[in-house]
Structure 1
Amino acid sequence: MPHNSYYQVKQMKAFDTNPKHLVWPLVAAISLGLTGCGSDSKNRTAPTTDGTTDGTTTEGSPTVASTGPADKMVDVALNTMVVATFNNAIDADSISSAGFTLAAAGLTDETGTVTVDTATNTASFDPTSNLVGDSVYTATISTDVKSLEGIAMDNNYVWTFTTGLIVDVTPPAVASTDAADQDTDVSTNRNVSVVFSEKMNPATINSTTFTLTGPAGAVPGVVSYPGTTAQFNPDQDLDLSTQYTATITTGAEDLAANALAASFVWSFTTGTTPAMGPAPVNLGTAGNYVILAKTMISTTGTTKIIGDIAISPAAETFITGFSQARDSSGTFATTPSDILTGRIYAADMTPPTPAILTTAISDMEIAFTDAASRTTPDYTELGAGDVSGQVLEPGLYKWGTSLLMTSAVTLNGDANDVWIFQIAQDLTVENGVDLILAGGALAKNIFWQVGGAVSLGTTSDFDGIILSQTAIVVKTGATLNGRALAQSAVTLDANAVTAPAL
């Protein structure tokens, strides 16, 4: 059975009761270093953006990698704590009530307890009392904060969120795992990961709450928590043909201090060979959608999509050509099955949809930055940006230019092998060009990180997860077996778009 990276259990938390707000995405890209275990276990990369005003930092200065709640999130629970995770270790004595503040216009500045969890490089602000409903709060990490070497942040890091009207008492849930429960032939040199239904308190995601055991007992490793995804990176490759059991305990809590209702336990069995290529990019909750965009999703002609599609922060009116109608719950829309087999979600739908989409957009941006920040490529500037007719083995590929395909390209590898393509500018697949998967290669393990626009030519046949910083244009009659995840628009014209097989 192939390694199942995106087994989904869509059990999303509903604590949003205020339908008037739109969701806005995380404006700062969040970086993480996802690497395989074994020989690659220490190749962790630092964030590439940091919330400063000019996008640059002094070498060694602390930068904020992620926040909870996310920037511009709405309908946040009144009993939330506020957290900021840094890219590297900080001096715990340098952050206090002066270095981490929370305030809302027209209200008295919040008082609370500021703590630092050195294991996760996370600072937490726990308000003394519940926040005020329907208010815009501004959280600030000041330049008082220093690294262990005494280097201060270059600029204040500021983000905002809007509270809803209720107190959150709903336990978080596990949305998916990789490997999936009872999976077999799992690669011996990959991380084990779990996607939560919402952002968690990073200080509660650690080697105590996330464990892996085998026949010899506990497996030593490092736990990290970017976005909504927790990862266990074993210190050494796992044993061949061996059953392992992973556990998330009830010590894992969300930002409102709600613990999992019960420990979550799953098992898997390794295969006989390690996977080739880099560790896969974890999509988090963005992996719930076959198409996810921020500004527009449009289609003309006879389009057939299998999977859910979503847009945020734009409203449903920016989804055109689907003839959709909202469900009676108001949380999603449907359309005739000859157009879409799945659901349509937008930022102006009834809660909890807005909050869920905020998280998905954040996870999409995290995935993009992760893919972009992988280091030590196996191939650099291959074909001077033209790989037409080539056979590409698993690995990390990097181009500082655009990438062009004018004739068929073949990806040759087995079901666990991974390809990541880092493309600084545009990706252009000419009309009628096919991407051929050979040797058992799977679309779910192919990642196209594109800094510019993506154009799939007419009647072309393409595979993989597209992470585009701008637009994805799928021209007349083209086929995509994968996901189109765009930080602007996705445009379709009589296409077949199918979520990748698991």
Structure 2
Amino acid sequence: MKQPTSQSSHRTWLTALMLSALAAGCGGGDSGRDPILGSGATVVTPVPAAVAPAVTAVVPVNDSTGVALNHTLITAAFSEPVSLSGAGAFTLSCAAPCVAPAGSVTFDASQQLATFELAPTATLAPATNYTVTISNAKSLASGLAMASPYVWRFTTGITADTTRPRVSLTVPATTSPVPLTGVPANTAISAVFTEAMAPGSLNAASFTLTCASPCVSPPGAVSYSVARKTAFFKPSAALAVGTTYTATVIRAATDLARNQLAGNQAALPAASNHVWTFTTAAPTAPANVSVLSTRPAANAANVCTNASISATFSVPSGFEMDPATVSAASFSLSGPALTPVAVASVVLDDATGRTATLKPLAPLTAGVTYAAVVKGGVNGVRDLANPANPMAASYQWSFTAVNCTQPPVPSAIVLGAASTFASYGGTAGMTNQGIDTVINGDIGTTAVSTGVTGLHDTDGNVYTVTPLNDGAVNGSIYTYPPAPGNATTKAIADAALNAAQNAYNQLVAMPPGAYAGAGELGLLTLAPGTYTSATSYKLTQGDLTLDAQGDPNAVFIFQMGSSLTVGIAGPTGARSIILANGAQAKNVFWQVGTSATINAAGGGFMKGTIIAQQAVTFSTAGNAKLTVLDGRALSLISGVTMVNTRINLP
């Protein structure tokens, strides 16, 4: 973990600021401004100078590599609606002898998205560095222009993308074959995708909500979050209680390479719609959201200059926060004399939808005290309830930045023949219980084919399914004979096990790192690096945040001599991993000396590739709540057990 090397107590400007605010509050009248949440008194939020619009998310992400050659859409999301003017407002360039591809620029003000689309016959060049530049963007509200051009870079691979996108998670949850019951009538509907989507392909025609007569299918607003790869359908009013609705994302929804959606209505390789149904119950009671915790904590005096700032919300409705309301306009950072800090991004986490993270555009200044504000009130943050629950008042806290030493950065792990496997059952096989398990990737084992139960794959093979235990593998299943196992599937299973063992050995050989949290990872925020426990790691006291600090290639490695336990008992016992500031599930690795137990109570979002010597277990028999892993679950000498589990190969 990073260690501070100096401290500062320069808070003079902040003290004066707060005294001024208190004086204004005591003088009567609030000038129409939002109050700050405080203990025992309500004070007036100082209003900083207007902030220029900023780019908050881009695809491809900055410094990404291996970008597909047919990746024809370059997308940028803004902190507010802007206008783009001039021939050079949004450009894609590359160094000679490469010739920059021709393209056109479109802007969707309602979603605050700008897209550069390559000409119909154009493709990207292989193994080439590209630079994207956005300039001359002006706020439609204030007229302020971007402080400076926004520039990011990516490098192409050598192949095209032919993989269809899939829906990895829905709200309400996708259940089959019967509708999910008890869904609050004031819910919003959302679909999370396995990869970045073409924003223009997600609209009122491609994402619909219907119900059978005499119910009238509700109209609604469709939006897409670039940072979260999530589409939202928000009904114009609360839904009817006791009614069954059908949500559909049609096959015409495409990724950035124009591959159509692989839904749940046909087996791969066919494109199809993704359909899910639910039945409504009474709406949740109105209740304001609030800030539950912050990182850094209030008055922290040892915050690294490259830190990101986050706020986790308490959401009594049980819904996620509305990403359209969480932006640089509602979550801001200022220095002395209320000088605004330029923001690179403000995004919600994809695991819970309740933690907002602000990444400054440039490192903070050591010795300076900063104030962070999450805006409440009419124009502040709110949840996805319908109607939405706001935060009653703004929330402010301060901290001081210092220089920090940086831990060594580990290198990526080579998975080889195991890279296409979302799960591997070692020598013991793989068992699924429940009808909502979906594995987006291959699975395998060196056990005989009867060692796999409760699953079927896209090759038409069925492995001991029952009406109550039938999970879908959107890939192939590789086992030893007898049929459907054969000599070919045996060879592939052997190669995958050897590759997984080699990857495990790579992880063990990594130089050990810090003993994070004395074995308890809950409520920690960790920078890229290696974290080592001679015994076990637990994630039980709260969620874990992995902060890539803006580097999409940042690697996180967890080494442990024995077990990994995520979650605790009870209906609210699930724990999740939150990826922040470019962290990616494909760059997170868990080397487990014995066994791994992931959210035995059901639910939660796990991230990364788990390679365990012994068993990997998800949830517990009888749990209906979906447990999600974005990564891989690879057991070397035992098996993998799943109960209503979703695994998305990163």
Sort the TM-score into its range (normalised by shorter chain): 0.3 to 0.5
The structure, 1 or 2, with the larger RCO (C-alpha pairs under 8 Å, 6+ apart) is 1
Return the TM-score normalized by structure 1: 0.47
Give the TM-score of the pair, scaled to structure 2: 0.37
Q: Larger radius of gyration, structure 1 or 2? A: 2
